[in-house]
Structure 1
Amino acid sequence: MSFSPPPPPVFAGESYNIWAVKMKTYLQAHDLWNVVQNDTEPPPLRANPTIAQIRQYNEDCAKKYKAMSCLQSGVSDAIFTRIMACDTPKEAWDKLKEEFQGSDKTRQQQLINLRRDFENLRMKDSETIKQYADRIMSTVNNIRLLGDDFSDQRVVEKIITTLPEKCESKISSLEDSRDLSAIPLTELINALYAQE
């Protein structure tokens, strides 16, 4: 049974980082990501190539156009006009990345702001554990989408140390049954949900 992936995700100008992750995976599924990433031409054929070598060379040359087709199909018409003059898939990818993700300096500033937001998060009295966990994970996922390696253990520590007093008994009972310094994030959240 062969795998037939769905059409590429379409980027319309919102949530670039999420689209970029999906599109990268889409291109990898089609064995086209290296063409986008490296922007290299296949080496020229040697003298007296075999039929197999000619076929391979033609397939390698076509990858550039297949990748470009995927990128062009993966953006709305309004975004397409920004990359239609690009000659290579790498040029189109880099143009979208620069415009919608910003420069390294901009991304660094976004990371600083998101880390500050993370550090300032506290559970509100009116919030449920699920709502608080969703709020934390939204910030953490945005940090990860910008390429920062943000450990689950750091999130676990954040949740444990910022729960309000009304949750003290939940944390105490968890401490009695599990090692909180090594508990997986999903296990912590599920245990807190169960007690809520």
Structure 2
Amino acid sequence: MAPENQPTTGPSTFIGENYHIWVIKIKAYLKALNLWEVIELGEPVVQPLRVNATLNEIKKYDELVTRSPRALTCRHSSLTNVMFTRIMTCEIAKKAWDKLKEEFEGTSRVKSVRFLALKREFELLKMKDSDSVKEYSSKLMENVNQIRILGETFPDQKVVEKILISLPDKFE
């Protein structure tokens, strides 16, 4: 049985597809285990224990020393064998994270180009007479969610305006 306030299931497995969705899930999982900070900031500098350390100081020391290996273990357990071989030489959780991120998300330049393409697609998207409002809004939201996954802010108000502007005459 899992301790209180701990996830009861492991992280979802990354098979090489839908990286952006998997990142959101594994990030939430690591946050629930209080391990995300190790990925975000790297390994903490841990001061050696003093000679007559208290039980609390020993527990805190053990927690700090094992955080990165625990985060790395979570990463390992969330990958298929094929994906694992890409990071198996990384001994630090942050390096493993950064390596997969660079491979599947790309550099900031690649993200910027992708964002511009998605933004252009959003601007050019029009509702066809044969589309239902539900179908059109689904297409639009798929585009917007891809933009948001790249870390760009995209206000809901802009989406609503786009839908209202794009409605064919039959909806007037």
TM class by shorter chain equals over 0.9
Task: Name 1:6's counterpart in structure 2.
Answer: 9
Equivalent residue in structure 2 for 1:150, among 129, 150, 154: 154
Matched, 1:78 2:82: yes
Per the alignment, residue 175 of structure 1 pairs with: none
Q: How many angstroms apart in 2 are the aligned matches of 1:135 and 1:21?
A: 21
Deviations 1:110-143 (A, max 9, x none): 0000000000011111111110010000000000
When Rg is computed on C-alpha atoms for both structures, the one with the higher figure is: 1
Q: Distance in 1 between matches of 2:167 and 2:8?
A: 42
- Partner residue of 1:65? 69
Matched, 1:32 2:35: yes
Q: What is aligned with 1:173?
A: none
CA drift of 1:47 comes to 4.0
Identity %: 43
What is the total number of aligned residue pairs between the two structures?
168
Structure-to-structure mapping, 1:88-127, within 5 angstroms: 88-127=92-131
> Which sections of structure 2, spanning at least 5 residues, go unmatched?
none
Q: 2:49 aligns with which of 45, 48, 54?
A: 45
RMSD (Å) for aligned C-alpha atoms: 1.3
Which ranges of structure 1 fall in alignment gaps of 5 or more residues?
169-196
| Stretch of structure 1 that moved more, 5-14 or 79-88 | 5-14
Query: What amino acid is the match of 2:79?
Result: V
Give 1:44 deviation, angstroms: 2.5
TM-score, L = length of structure 2: 0.93
Preserved contact between residue 43 and residue 92 of structure 2 (Cα < 8 Å): no
Match of 1:174 in 2: none
Per the normalisation by structure 1, the TM-score is 0.82
- Inter-partner Cα distance in structure 1 for 2:24 and 2:12: 10
- For residues 137-189 of structure 1, give each alpha carbon's deviation from its aligned partner in whole angstroms, at most 9, with x where no partner exists: 00000000000000000101100101111111xxxxxxxxxxxxxxxxxxxxx
Displacement after TM superposition at 1:5 (Å): 3.3
Which position in structure 2 is the counterpart of 1:188?
A: none
Structure 2 matches for 1:169-188, cutoff 5 A? none
Q: Distance in 2 between matches of 1:6 and 1:109?
A: 36
1:75-124 residue CA offsets vs partner (Å, 9 max, x unmatched): 11111000000011100000000000000000000000000000001111
Secondary structure of 1:91's aligned partner: helix
Q: Aligned partners of 1:100, 1:111: CA distance in 2, in Å?
A: 15
- Distance in 2, matches of 1:6 and 1:123, equals 41
Deviation at 1:49, TM superposition (A): 1.4
